[in-house]
Amino acid sequence: MILYSVKDGQYYNIDGFKQDLSDMTEKGFAPKVYVNITNRCTCACTFCLRNTKEMNEHNNLWIEKEPEAEEIIAEFEKYDWSGLEEIVFCGFGEPSMRIDTVLEVAKYLKKKHPQVPTRMNTNGSGNRYQGRDITKELKGLIDTISISLNASDKKKYYEVTKSRYGEEAYDDMLEFAVKCQEYVPNVVLSVVDCIGEEEIAACRKVCEERGLKLRVRQFES
């Protein structure tokens, strides 16, 4: 599925909702739509839901073919999504590996309903993967960028993410986050709550030293 919504850790194709999506909240869903853009990733996190989540009809985000921007836009065109609280580029992979497609779709979203906020969830490897500074391209198109911090130092980071770029990926990710602050209104780094108080405090310090916000989120197994 290309566009989906989430409830209780399960993923639902939005084709199960009314055309105006008015029944999302009635059915207990947050009024948010997620865009599943790729299954590829520059990391191979030990906790990645792609490996750990049991698959059934409501949580299978594997896609056989990555959707082109036109296909994603055609999906949005089927609905009146003017009342959504957020549209999120996410899925079972790293969206910045397809940043050109993300931005083409975001451009359409901002033109059609500029009041609907956009977010990209990322591991922060976009600049390294694309070989250019993509942060300035996010300006006016992405309102929130949520970056997985995962750990308080590069060694621990590599142990959990197994990034293809090795331990250097940690500094790349932090540099990416700092650069994003120039172009994206809301930049948030995140860790999961199961890493322990001490490690959370160390992560908070990493963020504070760089003027970045930290969000501690619930671990989803």
Place of tokens 């250019």: 132
Take residue 155 and report the two structure tokens written for it.
């060694």
Looking at the DSSP assignment, which residues form a beta bridge with residue 120? 89, 145
Which is closer to ligand SF4, CB of 135 or CB of 163? 163
Which is closer to ligand SF4, CB of 84 or CB of 149? 149
143/113 Cα distance (integer angstroms): 13
Which is closer to ligand SF4, CB of 44 or CB of 55? 44
- In the complex, minimum distance from the CB of residue 169 to ligand SF4, in angstroms, rounded to a whole number: 10
- Contacts with ligand SF4 by CB under 6 A lie at 41, 43-45, 48, 50, 93-94, 123, 148, 161
41/213 Cα distance (integer angstroms): 24
Q: Which residues contact 132 (CB under 8 A, 6 or more apart)?
A: none
- In the complex, minimum distance from the CB of residue 199 to ligand SF4, in angstroms, rounded to a whole number: 17
Q: What is the CA radius of gyration of the chain?
A: 17
Which is closer to ligand SF4, CB of 44 or CB of 74? 44
The identity of residue 149, as a single letter, is: L
- In the complex, minimum distance from the CB of residue 211 to ligand SF4, in angstroms, rounded to a whole number: 24
- In the complex, minimum distance from the CB of residue 127 to ligand SF4, in angstroms, rounded to a whole number: 15
